[in-house]
Amino acid sequence: MTKIGWLRLSYWIGAIADLIVGIAMVYPKFLALVLRLKEPPLSTETRCALGIGASLMFGWTALLLWADRKPLERKGVLVLTVAVILGLAFTILYGFLGGYIPLASAVSVWVFQTFLTVLFLSAYSLATKKKAETMRK
């Protein structure tokens, strides 16, 4: 796969992941299924927080698709996305430590987040090398 192809694949995998998480946040029963929660989060306070989070996830989905339109020029979006993933990883840790998220669910989320982080940082690195090659010509 070309460096640009790897970069574009990264944007799309991130966008699809964000879209799925956003949908799960809008539909608490789906979220409970994905995270293997005992009960779906149905309180007004939690639904409000999930709605705010879902809006941001859908916005980030759009941001990644926007970055895909000019993959080299917008490669920095991947680094910003890694920062977001780190914040989400700590949120999962908080949920696990609080007894809300089961260990198996937390670990599976962290494994996927690690995959995304490696994917995004490697794509960013390849894009940086590609841009440097292009500028030398």
pLDDT of residue 129: 83
Total residue count of the chain as it appears in this document: 137
pLDDT at position 57 is 97
Helix locations, the chain, DSSP H: 3-26, 28-35, 44-69, 76-97, 103-136
**Gap between the Cα atoms of 37 and 35, Å rounded:** 5
Q: How far lies 60's CA from each of 12, 18, 66, 107, in Å?
A: 11, 7, 9, 23
Report if pTM > 0.75: yes
Residues 6 or more apart in contact with residue 1 via CB below 8 angstroms? 9
Give the model confidence (pLDDT) of 93-114 as tens digits. 999 999 999 999 999 999 999 9
The tens digit of pLDDT for each residue in 1-57 reads 888 999 999 999 999 999 999 999 999 999 999 999 999 999 999 999 999 999 999
Q: Tell me how far apart the alpha carbons of residues 94 and 108 are, in angstroms, rounded to a whole number.
A: 15
Best CA proximity match to 113, nearest among 132, 92, 135: 92
pLDDT digits (tens, 9 = 90+) for 52-98: 999 999 999 999 999 999 999 999 999 999 999 999 999 999 999 99
Nearest C-alpha neighbor of 1 from the set 115, 133, 99, 130: 130
pLDDT, residue 120, reads 97
Record the tokens describing residue 81, joined without a space.
């996305």
